[in-house]
Each structure stands twice: as C-alpha cells, then as structure tokens.
Amino acid sequence: MFLAMTLAGLGLAGSAHAQPGAASWGTASADSLQAMAAYVGMSQCVECHDTIADKFEPNPHHGAQVDAHPAGTTVQCESCHGPGSLHVEAAGDEKDPNFYAIRNFDHMKPSDQAAVCRACHTNGEQVHWDQSAHARNDVPCQACHSIHDAKSEGGKFLLREARATTLCVTCHTDKRTELARSAHMPLREGGMDCSDCHNPHGSIGPRMIRGVSNNDLCTKCHMDKRGPFLWEHPPVRENCVTCHRPHGSNNDKVLASKRPFLCQQCHIATRHPSTLYDRPDLLSNRLVNRSCTNCHTQIHGSNHPSGERFLR
Amino acid sequence: MKRSMRIAAMIAAGTLLGWSTLARADGYVTGGTQYWYQSLEEAKYQEFREVPQGLFIESFLYRNPLLGGHVRAWGANLLRSDEYIAGDFHKPRWTAEVSYRETPHNLSFVSSTGYAFVEPGIQTLPDALQSAVQTGPDASDVTILSDFLNNARPLDLGIRTDALGARLKGRPGQGFKFEIAGSRRNRSGYKAYGGSFGFNNVVETAEPVRQSMAQGEAKVTYTKKKLTMEGLFGLSAFDNHEGTLTFDNPNRLVDSVSAPSRGRIDLYPDNRQWRVGANLALMLPHRSSLDGAFEYAQTRQDDSWLPYTINSAVFARTDSFPLPGTNTNGRVDLTTINLRFTTHPFAHVGGTLRFRDHHYDNKTPVHTLAGQVPYDGSWAAGEVETHPVSNRQTVSGADLNWSPIRQASLYGTAEFTHREHTYREIGADNELAGEGKLVLRPKTWLTAMGRYRYGDRDADELDIEEYETDTGALEEQPGLRRFDVASRIQNLGEASLSWTGMSSLATTLNFRYLRNEYHETVMGLQDDMQKSAAVDVVYTPSDRIDLEGTFGYAWIYTNQASRTSNVGVPVQADTLNWRARLYDEIVNATGNVGFHATKKVDLNLTYFYERSPGTYRLTSVKLTPPAQDLPGTWYRRQGVGTELRYKLTTVADAALRWAWEEYDANDFASQDIPLLLVTGSTRAIFLGDNTQDYIANAVSLVVTRRF
C-alpha cells in the first residue's frame, strides 16, 4: 500500500480521480479559473472537509504565522490550496469546472507542488532544495510528506511513514539491501534514520549529506576520530568510506572487505603485510578476530609519540 | 540523568500537563507484557535494542493545546536502554523542541577477561601470574596462562550512547528567522581493542569508553522577496574521560629492555571545533536561481603527549631524547565553497552549473621525533617525521534536463573533479565524468528509467620517494597503486521500471551496476564490481487483504594482487605473486500479509530473510605450498512476526504477538576463537567475543489506549 501511495505522490500512479471532459484536475482551464478565485477563509472549507480539518488542528501548520502570504499571515487551508471561492461555489458538483479551481496536490507537477511549499520553507533544512538531487529528479515534497495524515512518530516532520528510513528505501532499494547486511548501523532498529546523515532537501555536501564532506559528517557522531593526530593514516583523513561501507557490510565494523585483505589492498611492503594468510594460517592472529588491528589498534590515527605504526 | 529521576520527571510532567487541560488532550499509550527466550546468549539479537522481558511501554503520544500553542510529547521503549522521548511546543511563531535517545550497541555477552580493572583505564594481571610466566620454564607458560584464563571473569562488551538535544526556532518577523540548537552525547562501555607487546605476544584489551560530545549551532536567516541569506555559527567539543589504557604484560612482571611489564595506549585525544558559514539563495528571472554557500571550520587538538613509553627500563634512555614539544598542537582548517546556478529558460529545458571546492588544510606542524618505542619494548633510534596530511577536492559540473514531451525526460551531466593530496604517493588526480539518464512515462501507470555514468580518473606520476625509507631504500612494491588515489575507469549503470497498471497491483524493478578498473595498478586492488537488483510488489486483491513483498540481491567483487616478500626489502619476483578474489553477496526478502478479518479483528503476518555469504578465492603463481582458498563465510538471519489485533472499544485495542528469529553464522574470523591462541611461538590472548547461532521466540500481549 505504501509503495502505491508513494508512486501516486510521484505522479506515477494511475489517476483514479481523472475526470472526463474539459473539467479536470491540473488542466490549464482549471489553473486559469483559480487565478480568478478569491480567498474565502478556512471556515468555508470545514463545511465539507471537516474530517481533514479535525486532523489539522494538532498539525504544526495550524495557526502558524508567516510574514506575508496572499492567504494571510496565519496558515490555513488556502495558504496551500490557493483561493477557494470558485471551488466553494461548485458545491461539490464535479461536473462544474469551478470544482477544479483549487490546488489538488495529487494532480500537480512535482515542481509546482514544491513551489507551494517553498513559498514559506525557504531556509534551514530547505535552503538548498532547488539544487538538491530530489528537486532535479522531480521528487515532490508530497512523496515523503503527508500534510493531513502524517504517520511519523509524534507527527514529526509530517512524514508519510513512521520513519524516514522506510520512506527512503522505497526508492533507494539498493540501500535497503545494504541495510540487511550483517554489519550495519542502527537504522533498521530505529536508533537512527537515513535523515540523520542525509538531508533529503539538499545540502552543500556530496550526496546530500549533512556535512561538507564524508569525514565531516561521520565525525559529527564519531568525534573521537576527528583528530588531527600526531600520526595520521592518510586515507582515514581523506574519506572514511575508503574502508567503511556506511550502509552495511558483511564484514565487522562495516568494513569494505574482510581483514587482512582490506589492509593488503594498500599495504604490500615486506614481511607480514605481504604475507598470504590462507588456509594453513587459519589460526594466525593476523587473520582471525581483529586481524591487523589486533595490534595496529589505533588505525584511525595515534597521538602517542611511539604511535607511528598505530600500535599505541 | 539517573533513570529514576527521569521516570519521576516524566510522570510529574505528564501528570501536570494532563490535569491542566486533559479535556482537550489527545494521544495514545501502548504497553504490555512480553516473555522471550533465546537459545544462546548472542548479543546480535539485541545489538541495537533491548528486547523487553516483562512489562513494557512501547510508545506514547500526548498532544494538547497549551498557552495559545500546541504541546506534543511522544516516545518509544520507555525505561529501556533503547528509549526515545521527544517533545515540542509550537506557538504561531516559535517552536521549542527537546529529545532524548539512548542507543545501545551490544557487542558480546559471552566475552571474558583475566584482567582486573583497577580503574577502567588501568587493567592489571596478578603479579603471581606475570612472575610465573617470566621466571618459569618456557614450556610451562601455555599451561600457566591456560589455567589462569579458565577462570577469566565475564565481561559484557558494548557501548551505550545517550543523546540529549534541544532546539529553539523562531520567526520574530520582518523576514528574520533564527534557530539555536544544542546537543550532548555521552558514550560509555567497553569495546574489544588491540594491545600488543610484539609479534609473538598479542593481548586483546577492553577499551574503556567514557566520552562526551557537545555541539551547539546558531543560525539566522533573512528573507526579502527573492533573496534568502543565512549565517551560521557552530561549536563542538569532544572530551575523552579515559585518556589512556594501561594493561599488564602477561609474560613479564619486571620491566626490562624489550620486555615491558605493561603497555600503555593513548586513547583518542580531546578536540574542539568551531565553524562559521553563510548561505545565499537568490531567485532570478526565467525560473533561475543562484545558490551559494561558504563554510569555514577550524579544529584544534592539543592533548598532552605521553612519554615515549611506560617501560621504566627504557624510559631512562628516552629521557636523553626529549620530545619535540608537549602536544601535537594540531590544527585543521576546513574550507568549503559551493556555488550553483540553476535555470529553466524554457518550459521543458533546465540546467545547472555548479562548482564546489573543499579543502582539508592540516596546519599541524611537522614534528621530528628522535625515535620510537614500539610495543613499549625497546628504543628504536632514528629520526621520524610526522605527516600532517591535507587534501583538496574541486568539482565543476554542468547538468542539463530536457523534457521534449510529457512522456520523456532526458538528463545529462558533465563533471570534472580535481583532487590534491599531501604526503601521498600521488600528489594529484583529475577525473572527467559524463552521465546520461532517460526517463520514459509512456503511460501514467508505467515509468522506465535508465542511467549510465562513465568516469576516467587520471592520477599524476607516482612519487616514488613516498615508497622509500629515509635512507632511500624501497619499502613498498613500486607497482602498488592505492585504490583511493589510483587511476581509474568507472562505469555505472542503473535501470528501473515501475508499473501500476492495475489498481490492485503495483510493482517496481531496480537494477544497479558499478565497475571500477584501476588500469595502471600492478599491485593492490585492480578492479571491483558491484551489482544489485531489487523487486517490490504490492497486491491488494480485496479491501480485506494487503500483500507486500520485496526481494533484494547485491553482489560485490574485489580483485587484488600482492607479492609475498618475507625479507627486509620488497622482492621483485613474479613467482611470489598471489591474488585474492573476494566475493561478497547479500540476499534479502521480506513478505507481509495484512488481513482485515472483521470490523474488530486484524491479522498481520511478516517474514524476513537475510543471507550474506562471503567467498575468498586465493591463488598464487609459484608459491610453495600453493595458495588455498579460505573457508566461505555466511551470516543468515530470518524471522517471522505475527500480530492478532482486536478492537476492544472505540478507544482501545489489544494485540497478541509472536516473533520468531533465527540467526546462523559461519565465519572463521569470529567463531571458535579461544581465549588463548597459540600458533608456534606466537601467543595471543583474546576476549572470546565469538559469534553464536541462536533461535529466539518472543510472545507479547499489548494494549493501546487512545484518549
């Protein structure tokens, strides 16, 4: 059901409410009609849409004040749906072209949907929306948010689902598979969400992350790894995902490959880094348990004067 | 805050709020009782959660109009180690939020240690043990250590993170908005950690984790017509309350040169960061916009250095080689500039020009140390220089999208990336990438997408000096190219299909392919490949039945070349070459059946399956004996959940739940590892953090009461 709702939000699903003839949602005539409509106030809307109005009361939008908006400084139905005088005049008659002279988000282009929200949501989380991958790929706000029927915990962020992660993996199915791997961060247990690391509204970082770089993001929680250290491990300083797969891995510590092979992709040198640890060496302490980091424990960097090899 | 205080505060707050305006409040509480059983005490079952035994409160929501605004409080898993409580208060122009979350990370319930913790960071062994191993005949050492470890005490491994956050947002008017946020995150517990006294004497320690992280940020935004400006200032601090870990050497009671009685690890140093930033968004004619962002951050780290060693027999000698300072005097400047211009000059055409520059500028001074004391053993004289590595990435790109007809959209991207790295064997690299994407919507119920990206990264000449010692001797294979800076050809393809042709059926298919070829690499990672596919199906045959199913498969392959060289310098002989081809897969599937049996009865069944096998193919050219594959590994987890929900009244439901879960692992690296591992002359003491298979069952009865 959720998939179908999301597809509907993306404008991909079949239009169950499409009307025959000229009078229909999202047509040029409906748009031009609405341009002639006037604001009538929320009390008129409640006459028919009482169940929606009831749900709207605890909504953060309800009663919120904005600096300037044609519908007034207090957010109400017409702030988003546009002036409704003609729609009210139609009195529920779907054959009357005026019935469609109101914004119905299910039948608007994604960019037009976003424009309505962006009339107010221009700063903070949404300041980079126009440049985001979601905006460029025509993902409308309503694909993730449900203004009238939020299912998120406490109604927070008015999400269509209880958790942001559930929403994200609907489209990002490869990430859903990654999260199912044995080593993972606590996303599926509810300890964190995709939106803890990514800002779906856009950011100045790559892949819409909530940091200016991967490392900047990771060290917001793993601040112990931030350094700078006396002895640096260069790839650590450059990009955490050189060694770690943050969405999940079959390997301990969400490592990209099993140790010692991960380390041996960059360290061949002489003696033990170059040694082949195969079946006869199965009980080698360089192969089992923490492998290389059984000894090189300070692999993210060391501040110990004798820590050049990350042993202390 | 102590748990009892939290409970009291929560009850008091709830009672006061409830009594004050109960008539207008709404919300719900879900709670119940549960019994669960696990065949073996494997921590994976509760890795990031606490499965409650007995009474529990699952979730609650409380909403109430208050003082001209709205107050909300909600939470989950109350009074458990994975609890989450949040609340906010909305006024027409103000919002205040507060949240508290505990996240456990249980790592092992079956570990044990022979160390006594004098303090969390000082871990000792009995003098008698150290003395016996030091003075007794070598032949008896293993027996002495084995006997001692047979009486090792249990030690649960895991860390707990408590995060408290608060935020205040306001729109005072005149186009101004502000936001002030702060958080404090405490982390505590024990993690398995390495410790070593040399190649033949490895000790796994329990790292004491007592850390706190504080962050604060303030943002001010001004919007006027088509212009939005935002300024931000942030501070963050990391404090490690366990700065060192000192652990006894099981083989030695008295310090001597090359054989310390104890070792000392310098745990993560404290650090501080402040940042300032500015964002600018300007709406321009022709549906165009200009978006600019600048951020500067400075990180400092000046934790005091420890001496070269804790070994008193060596310390006297190192005293004549003073440290070059008292701390690292670490400083990093982080500068990011982001500029984007987006335009839609025509109804069906849009484009973006973008530029991004990110500079991690490590201004930590270079320190020259007179030598090192590896493993707290003996003084290895010889000047060594630190390398405060920096890096910089500049990305310039252009995106174009064109929708000639409603049923089709075309996207194109060209991107140039330049990177610089200091103290690396490759000083700089450039990547040129092109991307195309086609979205077809021939019908309202059918969407198809195809995307292809090609990237060619060209690395600068190898600086061979980075592979040499100070004396000019080669210490790394010259054919090695580290994959994060090596020349690379990248191919990425994606395809998807969405079909909603029937009102009762919706399905999507996704496929992804990624291949990296490090075409100039002789040694090291030569190529890797990832493939994944996923299918989602939703079927609603009637108003009473919902069926959902998902399937996902992913496959990762890496191919690396290496060369055994068991002498002091890298030997240049192909006969010593070996190769590792690693295959890493995951299959996961989920199914859900929702059955609305009657107006009062709902039945829900769920199933999940995850299996992630690993294959390790090792080959050699002429090694004797020839390379052998490592045993395959896998992690399998599957579970069934059922819920029978009965509507007691209009405001109350009761549900009976049963959940079954099976975990089956096979991994040579994390199973059957003894506390004392003896291989020839090498001894390693471990904590016994072994993965175990388990079956778990949980039965619960829950009631939801709405008000």
Cβ atoms of A64 and A74 closer than 8 Å: yes
Among B161, B386, B481, most A C-beta atoms within 10 A, so best to mutate, is B386
Percent of chain B with pLDDT over 70: 96
Sign of dihedral through CA atoms A267, A268, A272, A278? positive
Give the model's pLDDT for residue A18: 41
Kindly list the residues from chain B whose CB atom is less than 8 angstroms away from the CB atom of residue A252: 669-670
Q: Which of residues 15-34 of A touch B (CB under 8 A)?
A: 15-16
Residue A213 with chain B: CB contacts under 8 Å: 334, 336, 358, 360, 393
Query: Does residue B629 register a pLDDT over 90?
Result: yes
Please judge whether B301 and A257 are an interchain contact, meaning their C-beta atoms are less than 8 angstroms apart.
no
pLDDT digits (tens, 9 = 90+) for A287-302: 999 999 999 999 999 9
Check A14 against B445: CB less than 8 A apart. Answer: yes
CA distance A254 to chain B (A): 13
Three-state SS string over chain A comes to: CHHHHHHHHCCCCCCCCCCCCCCCCCCHHHHHHHHCCCCCCHHHHHHHCHHHHHHHCCCCCCCCECCCCCCCCECCHHHHHCCCHHHHHCCCCCCCHHHHCCCCHHHCCHHHHHHHHHCCCCCHHHCCHHHCHHHHCCCCHHHCECCCCCCCHHHHHHECCCCHHHHHHHHCHHHHHHHCCCECCCCCCCCCCHHHHECCCCCCCHHHECCCCHHHHHHHHCHHHCCCCCECCHHHHHCHHHCECCCCECCHHHECCCCCHHHHCCCCCCCHHHCCCCHHHCCCCCCCCCHHHHCCCCCCCECCCCCCCCCC
Residue of chain A whose Cα is closest to the Cα of B633: A250
- Using DSSP's 3-state secondary structure scheme, residue B245 falls into strand
Across A56-70, A86-100, A148-162, B351-365, the highest mean pLDDT is recorded for B351-365
Q: What is the ipTM of this complex?
A: 0.94
Q: Which residues of A touch B263 (CB under 8 A)?
A: 312
In A77-116, the residues whose Cβ lies within 8 Å of chain B are: none
For residues A250 and B611, what is the distance between their CA atoms, to the nearest angstrom? 10
Distance (Å, rounded) from C-alpha A168 to C-alpha A166?
6
Closest to A289 (Cβ–Cβ): which among B73, B204, B498?
Answer: B204
Over residues B215-244, the mean pLDDT reads 95
- Give residue A15's pLDDT: 38
Cα–Cα distance for residue pair A240/B372, rounded to 1 Å: 27
**B122-124 vs B244-248, strand pairing mode:** parallel
pLDDT at res. A240: 97
Q: Which of A139, A184, A226, A239 to mutate to test the interface with B (most CBs of B within 10 A)?
A: A226
Q: Is the dihedral of CA A253, A257, A261, A262 positive or negative?
A: negative
Q: Which candidate, B187, B175, B606, B519, places its Cα nearest to that of A122?
A: B175
Shortest Cα–Cα distance, A89 to chain B (Å): 31
> Which residues on chain B are in Cβ contact (under 8 Å) with A156?
74, 86, 88
Cα A218 off chain centre by: 17
Q: Report the residue from A176, A231, A284 with minimal CB separation from B679.
A: A284
pLDDT of residue B3: 57
pLDDT 10s digits, B94-120: 999 999 999 999 999 999 999 999 999
Q: Looking at the complex, does the CB of residue A69 fall below 8 Å from at least one CB of chain B?
A: no
pLDDT digits (tens, 9 = 90+) for A22-41: 567 767 677 777 888 899 98
Determine the Cα–Cα distance for residues A153 and B288; give it in Å rounded to an integer: 36
Of the ranges A141-150, A244-253, B62-71, which one carries the lowest mean pLDDT score? Answer: B62-71
User: Quick check: B70 and A261 CB within 8 A?
Assistant: no
Compare all CA atoms of chain B with the CA of A6 and give the residue at the minimum distance: B506
- Identify which of A216, A223, A265 has the shortest CB distance to residue B238: A223
- The pLDDT of A102-110, averaged and rounded, is 87
Is the dihedral angle over the CA atoms A105, A110, A114, A115 positive or is it negative?
negative
Other CB atoms closer than 10 Å to residue B681's CB: what's the count?
9
Q: Residue B156: which of B113, B197, B117 has the closest Cα?
A: B113
Cβ–Cβ below 8 Å for A289 and B566: no
What is the residue-averaged pLDDT of chain A? 87
Nearest by CB to residue A154, choosing from B61, B501, B548, is B61
| Mutation to test the B interface, candidates A59, A174, A292, most B Cβ within 10 Å | A174
pLDDT in tens, B534-582: 999 999 999 999 999 999 999 999 999 999 998 888 888 999 999 999 9
Would residue B680 be called left, alpha or beta, if left means φ above 0 and alpha means ψ between -120 and 50 degrees?
Answer: left
Token pair 């392919």 is found at: B513
Nearest-by-Cβ selection for A234 from B334, B354, B424: B424
B384 and A156: CB-CB below 8 Å?
A: no
Identify all chain B residues contacting A290, using CB atoms and an 8 Å cutoff. Answer: 192, 194, 204
Q: What is the pLDDT of residues B448-496, one digit of tens each?
A: 999 999 999 999 999 999 998 878 888 899 999 999 999 999 999 999 9
pLDDT digits (tens, 9 = 90+) for B640-662: 999 999 999 999 999 999 999 99
Choose among B236, B424, B512: nearest Cβ to A223: B236
pLDDT at A177 over 80: yes
Are B524 and A223 a contacting pair at CB < 8 A? no
The percentage of residues in chain B with a pLDDT greater than 90, rounded to a whole number, is 84
Higher per-residue confidence, B70 vs B86: B86
Instruction: Tell me how close the Cα of B126 comes to any Cα of chain A, in angstroms.
Output: 23
Q: For A258, which of B179, B196, B614 is closest by C-beta distance?
A: B614
Nearest chain B alpha carbon to A264: B524
How many cross-chain Cβ pairs, A to B, lie less than 8 Å apart?
448
Contact B534 A174 (CB under 8 A): yes
- According to the model, what pLDDT value does residue B6 have? 63
Q: What is the pLDDT of residue B623?
A: 86
Summarised one tens digit per residue, pLDDT across range B134-192 is 998 888 999 999 999 999 999 999 999 999 999 999 988 888 999 999 999 999 999 99
CA distance A99 to chain B (A): 23
Tokens of B148: 């001692």
Closest residue in chain B to residue A60, using alpha carbons only: B90
pLDDT for A20:
42
B73, B306, B423: residue with CB nearest A234: B423
CA–CA separation, B670 vs A288, rounded Å?
A: 7
Please indicate whether, in this complex, the C-beta atoms of A192 and B677 are within 8 angstroms of each other.
no
pLDDT band at B602 (very low <50, low <70, confident <90, very high): very high
The pTM score is: 0.93
Per-residue pLDDT reduced to its tens digit, B654-687: 999 999 999 999 999 999 899 999 988 889 999 9
- Mean pLDDT over all residues of chain B? 93
* Banded model confidence at residue B315, pLDDT cuts 50, 70, 90: confident
Contact B670 A312 (CB under 8 A): no
Is the CB of residue A224 less than 8 Å away from at least one CB of chain B? yes
Read off the pLDDT of residues B60-76 as tens digits, 9 standing for 90 and up.
999 988 888 889 999 99
pLDDT at B337: 97
User: Phi then psi for B158, rounded to 5 degrees?
Assistant: 160, 160
Residue A122 has pLDDT above 90, yes or no: no
Residues 226-255 (A) with a CB less than 8 A from some CB of B: 226-232, 234-235, 237-239, 242, 248-252
Q: Which of residues 183-212 of A touch B (CB under 8 A)?
A: 186, 189-192, 204, 212
Whether residue B689 contacts residue B157, with contact meaning beta carbons closer than 8 Å, is answered with yes
Angle at the Cα of A192 from the Cα atoms of B69 and A246, rounded to 5 degrees: 145
Q: Choose among A7, A177, A190: nearest Cβ to B506.
A: A7
**The two structure tokens encoding residue B277:** 């930033």
Is A180–B523 a contact, with Cβ atoms under 8 angstroms apart? no
CB contact under 8 A, A285 and B447: no
Choose, out of B420, B612, B686, B706, the residue to mutate when testing the contact with A (most A CBs < 10 Å).
B612
The reported pLDDT for the residue numbered A72 is 81
In this complex, is the C-beta atom of A296 within 8 Å of any C-beta atom belonging to chain B? yes
Nearest-10 Cα torsion for A204, A206, A209, A212: -50
Q: How far is Cα B261 from Cα B312, in angstroms, rounded to an integer? A: 9
* pLDDT in the model for residue A1: 46
Beta-carbon separation of B297 and A212 below 8 A: yes
pLDDT score of B691: 94
Contact B673 A288 (CB under 8 A): yes
Contact yes or no for A274/B563 (Cβ under 8 A) = yes
Which of A156-170, B2-16, B232-246 shows the lowest mean pLDDT across its residues? B2-16
Q: Is the bond leading into B404 cis (omega within 30 degrees of zero)?
A: no
Measured CA distances, B523 to B458, B467, B626, B629 (Å): 17, 13, 19, 20
Residue count of chain B, please give it. Answer: 707
CB B51 within 8 A of CB B36: yes
